Chains A and B, each alone.
Chain A
């Protein structure tokens, strides 16, 4: 079954440390996205990509980098983690035409201390 798989499921990071969140999709979708969810709020877009080796900024890109080494893989990188980056991070994929096939991963719960 086609899916979006995130790793790790949860992580505790130290302020100032580097954090890498990984996402792998088997949907054969061109588009991949990273969203952030803060407690009690909807999701906000951090970065996205529509082709391998290229990434684009979303609505809240500051403090984050992204990497798309292949169609299947998309990583979110926090070079210097901060307390304000404590959140749940969701990866998603879509085919790009219409969004009825948007598929989300299960989320990564990040706690920065």
Chain B
């Protein structure tokens, strides 16, 4: 089965509000990476975490390897935050990434 499960699959937020996206792993993972795929289809690195919490502007991510999950918190959502958010983990060797199915975020005025 899938090693990486993301929830929710879709989310709508009004500008200025916030929410959390979740990434669950079926086995213990060393680290997680979060990407945003923007409206042009480009993949943008957001966070790489091997443990703990990282914050960048309105985004914050945590990684709990013991309980096999990671979260991405968005606060004060802006229209440009719309897009699809993916979490990915390295599986096997050689830095091969396994992606979740993504969360489609729509920020509405």
Which residue of A is nearest B35, CB measured? A104
Contact (A96, B102) CB under 8 Å given A43-B86, A90-B43, A106-B41:
no
Restricting to B83-108, which residues have a CB under 8 Å from any CB of A? 86, 88, 90, 94-102
Interface size class of B (residues with CB under 8 A): 20 to 34
Closest A residue to B45 by beta carbon equals: A102
The answer to whether A43 touches B97 (Cβ under 8 A) is yes
Query: How many residues does chain A have at the interface if contact means C-beta atoms less than 8 Å apart?
Result: 27
Q: Which secondary structure characterizes the binding site on chain A?
A: strand
| Most A-side CB within 10 Å, residue of B88, B90, B95 | B95
The yes or no answer to A74 lying at the interface (CB within 8 A) is no
Contact of A96 among B42, B95, B99 (CB under 8 A): B95
Nearest-neighbour CB distance to chain B for A66, whole angstroms, equals 14
What separation, in Å, do the CA atoms of A31 and B95 have in the docked complex?
Answer: 8
On chain B, the residues within 8 Å of A84 by CB distance are none
Contact partner, A107, options B35, B42, B97, Cβ 8 Å: B42
Contact B94 A99, beta carbon cutoff 8 Å: no
B62 at the interface (CB under 8 A from A): no
Chain B residue with minimal CB distance to A95? B95
List residues of chain A with CB within 8 A of the CB of B35: 104
Q: Which of B35, B94, B102 gathers the greatest number of chain A CB atoms within 10 Å?
A: B94
**What residues of B have a CB within 8 angstroms of the CB of A45 in the complex?**
96-98
Q: Residue B43 contacts which of A98, A99, A100, A104 (CB distance < 8 angstroms)?
A: A104
List chain A residues, Cβ under 8 A from B97: 33, 35, 43, 45, 99, 102
Chain B contact residues, CB within 8 Å of chain A? 4, 31, 33, 35, 40-43, 45, 48, 50, 86, 88, 90, 94-102
Q: Can you list 21 contacts pairing A with B, beta carbon distance less than 8 Å?
A: A31-B94, A31-B95, A35-B97, A40-B102, A42-B4, A42-B100, A43-B97, A44-B99, A45-B98, A50-B94, A56-B94, A90-B43, A96-B94, A98-B48, A99-B48, A100-B48, A102-B97, A104-B42, A104-B43, A107-B42, A107-B43
Please list the 5 inter-chain residue pairs (A to B) with the smallest Cβ-Cβ separation, ordered nearest first: A42-B99, A100-B48, A104-B43, A99-B95, A43-B99
